DNA sequence: AGACCCCTGGAC
DNA sequence: GTCCAGGGGTCT
């Protein structure tokens, strides 16, 4: 579910509620999500004060100290939110963290793809998914983005989805940014001129900024930290709009598969690359 | 690059 | 029933 704008929205919502709170208990912890053993995690967390909430790509961190944090990856259906302490976990709640102000942070995940783990900085840097992660798309400079995309083999959408190229893009924002840049998702990156990659860079930044402002996109499961739906789904131009008219040219939008993901595009505004 | 895998539930 | 879903890992 959550891509960069959704994780950022959740982080912004949790930050004022969690910063400087002390963890007083872990009343619920699903064993299947805790390979290190329950006592190991509980011992590491009880009594710790949360120093802040941060995000890197699609990872959300509870910062416990300069060298210790909890990393959450929400994958498809993960949610983070607050509930009154002592409230019994609802369906699919896999972690409950009691805090020193009678509130609790919960992690809920219907499909159980989501993960969380306590990391030291050393352990985090030894995690390839983290250490190999590309730059933040909203911070990366135009030149660096060009350098990471220009001339590479692979289709442009696959590169956008590759967290080592740029971190935090998923199926929605890949499709939306490619439509805005008028690039067919299956175009080999090597077939894109510098001006077209630059156009994609700006389209990507714009769509991510707008989505964060809208509180993210709620297709099914995503909710903000306060349990509210985002509204950027109302601004989708291609995602989920198969067979509906293109908002720019009225042509019927189509789907194809790129990088194993359903991909929605306009066959007129995003023409197939000439040579393939 | 593609085929599965993890898992649950909604749409058809 | 079957297919599909904001993700990512592994294996061919």
Per the structure block, which two tokens stand in for A233? 């789904």
> A120: domain CATH number?
3.20.190.10
Same domain, A163 and A228: yes
Q: Whole-number Å distance, CA A88 to C1' C11?
A: 41
Query: What was the pLDDT predicted at A1?
Result: 66
Average pLDDT over residues A86-102: 91
Contact A269, A246 (CB under 8 A): yes
Same domain, A101 and A45: yes
Question: How does pLDDT run across A29-47, given as a tens digit for each residue?
Answer: 998 887 677 778 999 999 9
Q: Which of residues 68-87 of A touch strand C (CB under 7 A)?
A: 73, 75-76
Assess whether A150 (CB) lies less than 7 A from strand C.
no
Domain count for chain A: 2
Question: Is A73 one of the annotated binding-site residues?
Answer: no
Q: Counting beta carbons within 10 angstroms of the beta carbon of residue A78, is it exposed (0 to 12), middle (13 to 18) or buried (19 or more)?
A: buried
Distances (CA, A) of A206 to A54, A137, A171, A210: 21, 10, 16, 6
**Domain, as residue range, for A40:** 4-131
Q: How many other CB atoms are found less than 10 A from the CB of residue A90?
A: 9
Q: Which helix (H) or strand (E) holds A198?
A: helix A194-213
**CB-contacted nucleotides of strand C (7 Å):** 4-9
Is A198 part of a structural domain of the chain?
yes
Query: What was the pLDDT predicted at A275?
Result: 59
Same domain, A93 and A167: no
**Which residue is catalytic, options A15, A56, A196, A261?**
A261
Q: Whole-number Å distance, CA A99 to C1' C11?
A: 43
Would residue A102 be called left, alpha or beta, if left means φ above 0 and alpha means ψ between -120 and 50 degrees?
left
Per the structure block, which two tokens stand in for A245? 């008219």
Same domain, A73 and A151: no
* Percent share of chain A, pLDDT over 90: 92
């Amino acid at each position: 579910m959550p891509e960069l704008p959704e994780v950022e929205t959740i982080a912004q919502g949790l930050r004022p509620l969690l910063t400087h709170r002390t963890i007083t208990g872990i009343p619920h912890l699903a064993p299947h999500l805790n390979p290190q053993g329950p006592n190991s995690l509980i011992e590491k967390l009880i009594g710790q004060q949360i120093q802040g909430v941060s995000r890197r790509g699609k990872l959300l961190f509870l910062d416990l100290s300069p060298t210790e944090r909890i990393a959450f990856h929400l994958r498809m259906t993960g949610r983070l939110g607050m509930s009154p302490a002592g409230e019994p976990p609802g369906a699919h709640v896999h972690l409950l963290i009691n805090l020193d102000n009678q509130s609790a942070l919960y992690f809920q995940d219907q499909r159980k793809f989501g993960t969380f783990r306590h990391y030291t900085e050393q352990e985090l840097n030894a995690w390839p998914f983290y250490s190999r992660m590309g730059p933040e798309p909203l911070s990366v400079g135009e030149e660096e983005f060009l350098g990471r995309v220009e001339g590479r083999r692979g289709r442009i959408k696959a590169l956008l989805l590759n967290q080592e190229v740029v971190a935090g893009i998923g199926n929605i924002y890949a499709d939306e940014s490619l439509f805005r840049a008028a690039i067919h998702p299956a175009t080999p990156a090597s077939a894109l001129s510098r001006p077209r990659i630059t156009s994609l860079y700006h389209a990507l930044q714009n769509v991510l900024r707008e989505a964060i402002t809208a509180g993210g996109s709620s297709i099914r499961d995503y909710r903000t930290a306060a349990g509210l739906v985002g509204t950027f789904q109302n601004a989708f131009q291609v995602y989920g709009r198969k067979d509906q008219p293109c908002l720019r040219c009225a042509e019927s939008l189509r789907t194809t598969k790129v990088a194993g993901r359903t991909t929605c595009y306009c066959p007129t505004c995003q023409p197939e690359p000439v040579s393939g």
